[in-house]
Structure 1
Amino acid sequence: MKIKRKFREIVPSHNNTHESLRLGIILAAVGGFLEAYTYIGRGGVFANAESGNIVLIAIGLAQKNYKMSILAFIQVIAFILGALANETIRQREREKGIHPNRYSKIVLLVEAIILFIVGLIPETVPHSSVTSIVAFISGMQISAFKTLVDSPYSTTICTGNLRSASEAFLKAIKYKDKLNRARGIRYSIVIIFFALGAALGGILTEEIGVKSIFAASFLLLAALVIFYLDNKESKDEI
């Protein structure tokens, strides 16, 4: 308890569960897991990193390797459709006055179900079909969970998080700013768990194969428990 209190003194807690560090940790672990899973078990691609696919489109066109360009283009479109699907549903939920926490739980449940189905798809199915589904999920997740307490972040790629962590720590050191120190620590924790998720994904995919993605599905279901725990803590405080 003393360690927890000390940590909270340095890194203040969240106000909304869907923006919490504890949820961000699980989502980042899932993001890393999926990158390792698609790279090792589904054709050697990173389904979350669409910048790489855009590069492949350009290279394919330059080398007249149109198959490469088309396959990479499909991944990008799947990602865009995931982001658009999330935004469309969120707008409708917002118009109905539904709390963001409830919508976030729906997204997590949908992701968990789809990823479980992905684990049932045999290796004989073309990898591009599976990685497109994962790219769609990535688009949904990156669009649905964009804020870490009080800062923008990503749960499926780390480039932006690395930049934000560097900037936050620089400001924290230069100006002795506690707020930026807390932000830098949060970003760093998310990055670490992204890496741990990738390590777990790599190990399980090597050992189990394509069904290892069930672990990512279970992690997302575990994330739903966080909403219950936060709700229970709020009632206890009252």
Structure 2
Amino acid sequence: MRIGAILAIAGGFMDTYSYLVRDHVFANAQTGNIILLGINLSEKNFSQAINYLFPILAFILGVAFADLIKFKIGEKNIVNWRQISLLIEALVLFFVAFIPTSLNLLANSLTSFSCAMQVESFRQIHGNSIATTMCIGNLRSATSHICLYFYEEDFSNAKRGFIYYSIILFFILGAIIGKFFIELLGQKSIIVCSIILIIADLIIHINNKSLE
């Protein structure tokens, strides 16, 4: 749950950064980018459509790259493949901080790539399928489990609903933290997100060592 909370904060931070600093493009919510891509294509505004197409393609590549790391390293190595995925994500975001605003397309694409690695690497919390970089699925699942609780009177459903709603709240907290640091550090504020991801990586490492 700690890892899920930290990653949700990072997810909210990334989306806030890409939207406020990098030309109002969503790094995480590719549904929004796909809609904006379609709108611009329908208006024959092809130059603007590219701003949404490349983050979508980068997201696809990010998922594929995370899977490649999983297939090559697996679960039984000294370093868990998810740790490597998080470290790469943190390094990519650190690099994004130094990309000038004239290259926002590159910055947004790399941020989407990082987001996709996180989505693919961390998909469950306590056996529940949970996304730490977007909210619509979590919102649906949370409400569904709460309804099941009132219908079946099974407290495990309420507990699951609470987990989903908690992740959403941490995502909102990430957006708030992101806005604060954007006002403070501007373009380089995404470095804070890199630090958050490294903290998550260290916690995973410590937990793995304690199980040995």
TM-score (norm 2): 0.94
2:127 pairs with 1:147: no
Spell out, residue by residue over 1:108-129, the C-alpha distance to the aligned partner (whole angstroms, 9 max, x if none). 1111111111112233x32111
Equivalence for 2:179: 202
Equivalent residue in structure 2 for 1:49, among 19, 24, 29: 29
2:64 pairs with 1:98: no
Write the distance in 2 (CA, Å) between the matches of 1:114 and 1:150.
29
Equivalence for 1:64: 44
Equivalence for 1:32: 12
Displacement of 1:178 after TM fit? 2.0
Greater C-alpha Rg: 1
Mapping for residues 1-238 of structure 1, pairs under 5 Å: 21-94=1-74, 98=76, 102-123=80-101, 125-231=102-208, 234=211
Are the aligned partners of 2:63 and 2:116 in contact in 1 as well (CA < 8 Å)? yes
Are the aligned partners of 1:33 and 1:201 in contact in 2 as well (CA < 8 Å)? yes
Write the distance in 2 (CA, Å) between the matches of 1:30 and 1:59.
29
Moved over 3 A (4+): 231-235
Write the distance in 2 (CA, Å) between the matches of 1:193 and 1:66.
36
Are the aligned partners of 1:56 and 1:68 in contact in 2 as well (CA < 8 Å)? no
One-letter identity of the residue aligned with 2:87: L
Displacement of 1:42 after TM fit? 1.2
Choose 196-205 or 112-121, whichever is displaced more. 112-121
One-letter identity of the residue aligned with 1:115: L
Spell out, residue by residue over 1:132-175, the C-alpha distance to the aligned partner (whole angstroms, 9 max, x if none). 00011111111111111111111111010000000111111211
Write the distance in 2 (CA, Å) between the matches of 1:44 and 1:118.
16
One-letter identity of the residue aligned with 2:76: I
Alignment gaps of 5+ in structure 1: 1-20
Are the aligned partners of 1:47 and 1:131 in contact in 2 as well (CA < 8 Å)? yes
SS at match of 1:47: coil
Displacement of 1:78 after TM fit? 0.5
Write the distance in 1 (CA, Å) between the matches of 2:61 and 2:78.
21
Write the distance in 1 (CA, Å) between the matches of 2:119 and 2:202.
20
Write the distance in 2 (CA, Å) between the matches of 1:224 and 1:85.
18
Displacement of 1:100 after TM fit? 10
C-alpha root-mean-square deviation of aligned residues, in Å? Answer: 1.7
Are the aligned partners of 2:55 and 2:108 in contact in 1 as well (CA < 8 Å)? yes
Displacement of 1:28 after TM fit? 0.5
TM-score (norm 1): 0.84
Are the aligned partners of 2:40 and 2:46 in contact in 1 as well (CA < 8 Å)? yes
One-letter identity of the residue aligned with 1:128: L
Displacement of 1:81 after TM fit? 0.5
